[in-house]
Structure 1
Amino acid sequence: MRAVSQSTVGAPSVLHTVDLPRPVPLPSEVLVRVHAAAVNPVDAMVRSGAFPLLGEPPFVLGWDVSGVVEEVVPGVTRFAVGDEVYGMPFFPRPGNGYAEYVAVPSRQLARKPANLDHVRAAALPLAGLTAWQALVDTAQVGPGQRVLVHAAGGGVGHLAVQIAKARGAYVVATASGGKAEFVRGLGADEVVDHRSTDFTEVLSDLDVVLDGVGGPVGPRSIGVLRPGGLLVTLVARTDTALRDATTAAGRRFAGVTVEPDRVGLEALTALVEDGLLRPHVEHALPLEEAAKAHELIERGDTRGKIVLTL
């Protein structure tokens, strides 16, 4: 099968197309013929060596996949050959998504939303589950709450805005001016251009802040929360100084790491099929252009997601 691998860490140019043996599914797994695989910022961090999640190369990147079940191991009852499925296999262990076939535990997959093609379905699992697990499982966002989503035009952010709106929240978003109209179109009630406006000067009394940016954004977000409000960070999970500063200010702190979760995937599917959630794909490139996809994602100005097609 075709796959994209790397023999060393480094720039996007280390990614190259190779021929690898087709994986053989183990008990509880299905073999999926991949039609599309999304590219996420974590992929670029692993590829470069900045985040050595997978150890030493060679390895195949990619966790977001959408495709068709090719083979079912006897004993698996959730799917049949020919079913269209999507998911985020094995994260944070190797998911091997940049390949024509992946072997996946059946309970890490869900049926693909009927109203999404494979390209848009592949854009949903990692970013969508991150937003869902942060806003719903952790923050329990509900009607009338005031929620701030930082970096609302990006992969996680653009889905988080829609999920929070679907939960009945009043959504405030930070984004660059070029993404402001895009974010408003997702349903944000207010958009703050972080390049021209200091969000700490115009926002206050928020129930939840979702920070996927890191750096000074987390500490600066503490003051815009109401007493008892919740700061959810996706990037500073182990930052004890940030945790202590948040709790000392009378606010709550939570760090979220995304996990494979078919229940969460099925909840996302329901939102998509009800017309309340739609992943945006800015770039769809063939698998062989994975290096270009990594160059694009490292620029940091993509609206929504980047997806590889097979």
Structure 2
Amino acid sequence: MTVQAVRVHRFTQPETLVVERVDPPASAGGVIVAVEVASVNPVDWKTAEGAYAPVGEAKLPITLGRDLAGTIETSEIEGWTPSDRVCAFIGQDRGAQATRVRVTAEEMTRIPDPVSTDIAGALPLAAMTAWQGLFDHGGLETGQRVLIHGAAGGVGHLAVQFARWKGCTVFATAAADDLDFVASLGADTVIDYRSQRFEDVATGLDLVFDTQGGETQARSFATLKPGGILVSTLDPDEARAAALGVRTVPRWHAQPDAVALGRVLDLVVEGAVRVEISRRFKLDAVEDAHRFARNDHPRGKVILVV
């Protein structure tokens, strides 16, 4: 028996993706999940273009995808049984955009009954990026002032809700068409990044969460109070931060964390967090999904229905 998988054989711009038949994964002490939903994230098209440093040509061909939701088919882990609904953020050594995937206990959590498979599949990587950025790297605490850039995107819309849940004052940047959406997520002040200078509105901040880099990051340092911190998913300007008396953290990548992912799912059940799904694509339309996610700047997440 073979499985279908989204594969990259060579780096190209725009990327060339192939949905092909490959050997099924071995359980190897984990579980085999029949994937129902896989998420589309920026790391996917960056990997396919050769722009994601941890994946070089020596690792090709590679199956894309880092997060998924589905049902366990076989298990070699005590306490996990076939028919369990799970979602997971998996390591780069495998690929979630496939019909079957091996998952470890450290990567997966059960999907609570009220949560749909679509929502669970859209959540893991974006949620862990936002959660780890704000809390693990940024040390965000109740009562602090925080600015979230790209607040309508997959990571950003979750970061806004996590900061609101934590009891922070939330500033957020977004395009004009997304201002009402971001406000509905709980942002106290929403800034149109095209017509307003966010540094004139958001000041005295404890934390800036940056997924944009470039000029946006450079201008963000001025919004921080002395000792404040900028947490970026892109290379931070550490010299600029030091000169201004603020902090940053070295470039980091989100890591699988089943405990934290389970906490986020609890927040979804409680109604404290919602996951926006912009569009759904079939697995064989993965190139269309990548183009839409990269070029159309959708609200929330894009998913593949396997």
Contact 1:38/1:122, CA 8 A, preserved across alignment: yes
TM-score, structure 1 normalization: 0.93
Q: CA offsets per residue over residues 72-130 of structure 1, 9 Å max, x none? A: 11xx124111111111111xx23311100000112211111332211111111111001
Aligned residue for 2:216?
217
SS at match of 2:290: helix
1:263 aligns with 2:259: yes
1:199 aligns with 2:194: no
Where in structure 2 are there 5+ consecutive unaligned residues?
A: none
What code does the residue aligned with 1:8 have? R
Aligned residue for 1:247?
242
Q: Partners in 2 of 1:205 and 1:53 — Cα distance?
A: 36
Displacement after TM superposition at 1:13 (Å) = 6.1
Aligned residue for 1:42?
43
Displacement after TM superposition at 1:143 (Å) = 2.2
Contact 1:131/1:160, CA 8 A, preserved across alignment: yes
TM-score, structure 2 normalization: 0.94
Q: CA offsets per residue over residues 165-200 of structure 1, 9 Å max, x none? A: 111111100011111111111111110000111111
Aligned residue for 1:18?
20
What code does the residue aligned with 2:274 have? R
Q: Partners in 1 of 2:5 and 2:305 — Cα distance?
A: 12
Aligned residue for 1:305?
301
Contact 2:147/2:202, CA 8 A, preserved across alignment: no
Contact 2:15/2:49, CA 8 A, preserved across alignment: no
Task: Rate the CA distance shift 1:13–1:215 in 2: closer, same or farther, 3 A.
Answer: closer
Q: CA offsets per residue over residues 271-296 of structure 1, 9 Å max, x none? A: 11111111111011110000001111
SS at match of 1:107: coil
Where in structure 1 are there 5+ consecutive unaligned residues?
A: none
Contact 1:88/1:95, CA 8 A, preserved across alignment: no
Aligned counterpart in structure 1 of residue 281 of structure 2, from 275, 278, 285: 285
Q: Partners in 1 of 2:14 and 2:6 — Cα distance?
A: 11
Identity over aligned pairs, percent? 36
Matching of residues 120-135 of structure 1 within 5 Å: 120-135=119-134
Matching of residues 130-149 of structure 1 within 5 Å: 130-149=129-148
SS at match of 1:307: strand
Aligned residue for 2:70?
67
What code does the residue aligned with 2:88 have? G
Q: Partners in 2 of 1:265 and 1:223 — Cα distance?
A: 33
User: Alignment length, in residue pairs?
Assistant: 301
What code does the residue aligned with 2:23 have? P
What code does the residue aligned with 2:167 have? G
Aligned-residue CA RMSD (Å): 1.4
Aligned residue for 1:226?
225
Q: CA offsets per residue over residues 151-174 of structure 1, 9 Å max, x none? A: 001111000000001111111000
